[in-house]
Chains A and B, each alone.
Chain A
């Protein structure tokens, strides 16, 4: 069949071949990257100075118990074999059990991940809805006050520590002004009024018509979401400005003006349409950055997401949980990068 494809001259045969080749390359890159991620976490796991056996049995266990657990954990096998087993387990999502909760780490992660997704999604939404118009405005009105303002916004976003800004936000909006609720996802009194279905409180409460609980959840999520949203919009507006400046200097923009199109149309239908191609990549990357930012944000706001899960496990020396969580975040990162790559190819007709 392969030879038939190879011999089927010209047009269709070779187009199919090159497409398959691209897909194959793509899969190989993805597989090696993920394998590399697993290798790194495996390596980190082996670097731990704590004896993992003792972590399970305690340091007063008799020798035969120690040996038995050691064999169970597979630590008597050669390193390569251990690695292969580790890879196989990782592929099926088996990261071992959490020392703290005694649940399989994967179960724990599935429980906490939606909370992080909620924050990252809301944050990115804010970043896109505010960041893109700001960036366009700054590019169009280059050198004016609004341009300076957007650049300052971006600069502060790159310099301010997220955990500190979160704390100051809590101080101002929660403690001093009382506009929003404090740390946590929802007030304890409301948490019994709805059943968790999707894991996303806003959706669950709304779907079940528990509006008091819904508004309480909103009041809890708004500050951390705005915090992440600010970082997102600082990044997105800066990149949008940069891309727009690039496009507005192009010949086709002049041609569009020659055609007598309104300036609005030139900016949005021509310049932004072209800037959208790299911009979509930026948005995907921003989402990935917010996943990272949520680690510290969740700590500040006692938000029960993956970030808090990792840091809690860290402080309890629960290596399985830490590594499992790290691997999950790393995988999501890789997938997001991939998605952004694909989107770029889809949107730019020159690369199709």
Chain B
């Protein structure tokens, strides 16, 4: 019986603003092994903040509390900054939404990957360079040597996202958080990126938290799904059992998805029950 990779119990993220306190995450609990967990929700549901809280990167007016927040047995709430920094990038990584903004515009792609590697491995420049090139190959870049020397604005969205994946996986982390990794990409490009992500996660036996607003996508990619609404988890189930969803919000979401088979007119919309937000 191995201990879970990630153990989250009653996670709360509060923002103390001048106009009052906003609770973005209100008591989220789950456990994660080396499996794929999807977190689905709309904007403002708290899914991104959950991911940031795990990494300890909640932006400043925010406060994170939990009954338990542990990674591989290490208590993330009481860990020192140094420990957290070793974990970040080294054992827990995050792929962000838009490579146009999440890659440093004045550093070449290769430099950024090398930087990520050298932050966690005592390696010389040549070894780091080789690792970076190998990683670029692993994400199926057609000409790794050329891309290595390019700046982020010189590559397309799909290439940029693959570069981001390369940068975040070069250190061989145990857990990857993917925060809307394909939301900024075209459909065909995002299929490609997902395929690569799929391969790498399976190959390396990593845990994955896939955060998205796309229920269909998450259900096809992940083993388990958490549905979040207004900061709470309203439903947790196996991806293959989505049709048996109990909570009216999830049922509503499933009903809104157009299908090729049925012809439901008008297309149903979601009727929000204020009770869900309590």
Interface, chain A (partner B; CB < 8 A): 250-252, 254-262, 270, 273-274, 277, 347-350
B residues 180-203 touching A (CB-CB < 8 Å): none
In angstroms, Cα B105 to Cα A256, docked, is 12
B151 contacts across to A, CB distance below 8 A: 349-350
List residues of chain B with CB within 8 A of the CB of A259: 88-89, 93, 115-116, 119, 167-168
Please tell me if B270 contacts chain A, counting CB pairs below 8 Å.
no
B 93-123 to A, binary, CB cutoff 8 A, 1 in contact else 0 = 1101110011111110000000110011000
Q: Are B104 and A274 in contact (CB under 8 A)?
A: yes
A251 / chain B contacts, CB cutoff of 8 Å: 96-98, 101-102
Cβ–Cβ contact B57 & A260, under 8 A = no
Chain B count of residues within 8 A CB distance of the other chain? 29
B38 at the interface (CB under 8 A from A): no
* Chain A interface main SS type: helix
| B55: interface (CB < 8 Å) | yes
8 Å CB contact of B102 from A254, A260, A273: A254
In contact, B167 and A256 (Cβ under 8 angstroms): no
In the complex with contacts A258-B168, A273-B106, A349-B106, A252-B88 CB distance below 8 A: no
Interface contact B88-A258, CB-CB below 8 Å: yes
The listed residue (B94, B101, B120) touching A252 by CB distance below 8 A is B101
Q: Distance in Å from the Cβ of B22 to the closest Cβ of chain A?
A: 19
- Contact assessment for A258 and B103 in the assembled complex, using a CB-CB cutoff below 8 Å: no
Q: Which residues of B contact A348 (CB under 8 A)?
A: 105-106
Query: Is B85 engaged at the interface, CB distance under 8 Å to the other chain?
Result: yes
Determine which of A252, A260, A277, A347 lies in contact with B104 in the assembled complex, contact meaning CB atoms within 8 Å: A252
Nearest CB in chain A: distance from B179 CB, A: 10
Question: Most B CB atoms within 10 A — which of A252, A255, A270?
Answer: A255
Contact of A258 among B86, B93, B98, B107 (CB under 8 A): B93
A251-B59 Cα distance, complex, nearest whole Å: 12
Do B98 and A261 have beta carbons less than 8 Å apart?
Answer: no
Q: Is B87 an interface residue (CB 8 A)?
A: yes
List 5 tightest A-B contacts by C-beta distance, closest first. A260-B89, A260-B88, A251-B101, A259-B89, A251-B102
Q: Which residue of A is nearest B94, CB measured? A: A258
Complex contact B98–A260 (CB within 8 A): no
Distance between Cα atoms of A349 and B164 in the complex (Å): 19
Of A250, A260, A273, the contact of B101 (CB 8 Å cutoff): A250
- Do A261 and B153 form a contact, CB below 8 Å, given A255-B102, A270-B104? no
Picked from A255, A274, A277, A349, the residue with its CB within 8 Å of the CB of B153 is A349
Can you name 15 A-B residue pairings with CB atoms under 8 Å? A252-B101, A252-B104, A254-B102, A255-B103, A257-B57, A258-B57, A259-B116, A259-B168, A260-B88, A260-B119, A270-B104, A270-B107, A277-B106, A347-B106, A348-B105
A260 and B90 contact, Cβ closer than 8 Å, known pairs A252-B102, A255-B102, A273-B106: yes
Q: How many angstroms from the CA of A255 to the CA of B116 in the assembled complex?
A: 10
Find chain A residues with CB under 8 A from B96 CB. Answer: 251, 254-255, 258
Encoded as 1 (CB less than 8 Å from any A CB) or 0, chain B from 52 to 94 comes to 0001010000000000000000000000000001111110011
Which residues of B are found within 8 Å of A347, using beta-carbon distances? 106
Q: Assess whether A261 is in contact with B106, with CB atoms less than 8 Å apart.
A: no
A262 surroundings in chain B (CB, below 8 A): 85
Q: Are A260 and B86 in contact (CB under 8 A)?
A: yes
